[in-house]
Amino acid sequence: MWFRNKFNNALSGVAAGLVVPVIAFLVFFLLTRHGLSLPEYVRKIKDIGNFTEIMSVSVFANIIIFLIFNRLDMLRASKGVLGITIAWAFTVFGIKLF
């Protein structure tokens, strides 16, 4: 109960919406790195042209935290996650466009 009251605000949702994709990217990196270091891995995916696709997959992890917040009836926090997910989507679209 105290968890819901303390973290049911938009700032908590925004923080979760920023942190969860980074964690998802790190998990994706650990599963697919094939012996590369992180800078080499990022350089390789940029050279191949898969950077926006991997960003999209990482941001897709926000749906999990959004559904958890929604299930726990933490609607303010889920609004923060939704807002930052839309911002991520515009960022990915902007990178893809240019």
Mean pLDDT of the chain: 92
- Render pLDDT for 31-76 as a digit per residue (tens, 0 to 9): 999 999 999 999 999 999 888 999 999 999 999 999 999 999 999 9
CA–CA separation, 89 and 80 (whole Å):
14
Measured distance CA(41)–CA(50) in Å, rounded: 11
In the chain, DSSP finds a helix count (H) and a strand count (E) of: 6, 0
pLDDT category at 14 given cuts 50, 70, 90 is very high
The predicted structure's pLDDT at residue 12 = 94
Question: Is a pLDDT exceeding 80 seen at residue 97?
Answer: yes
More confident residue, 29 or 5: 29
DSSP 72-91: TT-HHHHHHHHHHHHHHHHH
Asked if 33 contacts 44 with a C-beta cutoff of 8 angstroms, the reply is no
